[in-house]
Copies of this chain bind each other. A is one copy, B any other.
C-alpha cells in the first residue's frame, strides 16, 4: 500500500522525537533509554519501516555503496572475483555494478559516477594499458575520489596510486615457460592478446624470459582480443602458417579455451597452456595447463580493503601464480 514508511511516522507512533527515533533505529553514539528504545522498535516493526538509504547517504555525507567496475561480467575471471567480493561487501554494504565492455573511457566515467554517489569505495578490476594518457586521467580521477573520502582498490593495475591487488604476471609466466621446457617442449608460440594491454605484455615478457633461461625463444607471437574469440582467431591464424610450434601459450585461460577449440576443430595435435586457472577449466578436455591465480582470494582481499577504514597508507598485495601442469601440455612419448 501507500508509499514508503518514514522515520517521522515511526517517531510519531512511538511518541518520541525524530532524533530519538533515528538514534534507535540506526544506532548512534548516543544511548537511548530502554523504555523509549522499545517503543520505537515496536513502532518500526509494526509499520514495517525500512530506512531510506539515499536519505541516509545525503545526511551522513557518505554511503555504503561499493562500486565494482569490471570489463565484462560474463568472463569467468571477472565473475569469480565479483562473486567473492560480493560475499564480503554484502553483509554491510551494497554493490553497484559497472561493466566497461572493455572500453577504457568507461572506467573513467564509472569512477566519477561513484564519486558523485559518494560511494564508500570503488573496486576496479582492469588492466593497465599502454595508453598513458588514460592511465594518468584514471589515476587523477581515483585521487579525487580518494580525496573525497572514498576508498579505491584496484586489481591488476599498479600505476594508479590506489590500494592494489597485483598478480605477479611476469613471474608466473616465466615459471610456466620453465616448466614447459622441462617437460620436453621445444618450439613455442604465444597468443599474446592485445598489444596495448600491459597485463598481457607482462605475461608475454615473462614467458619469453623463461624460455630464454633455457636457451629458447618463441617462433611466433600473435596479437588478438583478450577473449575466447580472440584466442580462437589467433590460433586459427597460427594454424594457417606453414610451420606451427609444438606448444602454444595463450596469455589467459579464456583465450586458451578458444585456442583449444580451434585446435580441436582442425584435428591437429598441439599443446596449449593458459593463465589464471578459472573454474571453467575443470570441464574442458583435455584439461588445461595454466598458472593458477587465487581469484577468489583476490576478490576477497580487494573487497576487504575496500571495506576498511581509509586513512592508512597505500597497500599493495602481490599474489603469485602457481604453475599447474595438466593434460593439454602432456607430451606423448614418441618420435
List residues of A whose CB falls within 8 A of some B CB.
1-4, 50-55, 57-58, 63, 68, 72-74, 76, 79-80, 82-83, 86-87, 90, 94-99, 101, 112-113, 115-118, 143-144, 147-149, 228, 257-258, 260-261, 264, 279-280, 282-285
With A58-B54, A117-B52, A260-B283 known as contacts, the answer to whether A74 contacts B79 (CB < 8 A) is yes
The answer to whether B51 touches A116, judged by C-beta atoms less than 8 angstroms apart, is yes
Nearest residue (CB) in B for A55 is B58
Sample of 16 further A-B pairs with CB below 8 A, known A52-B118, A54-B117, A260-B283: A4-B118, A50-B113, A52-B117, A53-B117, A54-B63, A73-B83, A74-B83, A82-B97, A94-B98, A94-B113, A228-B283, A257-B283, A261-B282, A283-B284, A284-B284, A284-B285
CB-defined contacts of A101 to chain B, threshold 8 Å: 87
Q: Are A96 and B99 in contact (CB under 8 A)?
A: no
Return 22 A-B CB contacts under 8 Å, by A number.
A1-B144, A2-B148, A3-B147, A4-B116, A4-B148, A51-B116, A52-B118, A54-B117, A55-B58, A58-B58, A68-B97, A72-B83, A73-B82, A90-B98, A94-B96, A94-B98, A94-B113, A95-B97, A95-B98, A97-B97, A228-B283, A261-B283
Q: How far is the CA of A224 from the CA of B261 in the complex (A)?
A: 30
For this chain, the copies found in one complex come to: 2
Q: Are A74 and B76 in contact (CB under 8 A)?
A: yes
User: Complex Cα distance A94/B260, Å?
Assistant: 37
Which residues of chain B have C-beta atoms less than 8 A from A54's C-beta?
54-55, 57-58, 63, 117-118
Complex: A57 Cα to B258 Cα, angstroms = 44
- Alpha-carbon distance A55/B57, docked complex (angstroms): 8
| Contact indicator B148/A116 (Cβ below 8 Å) | no
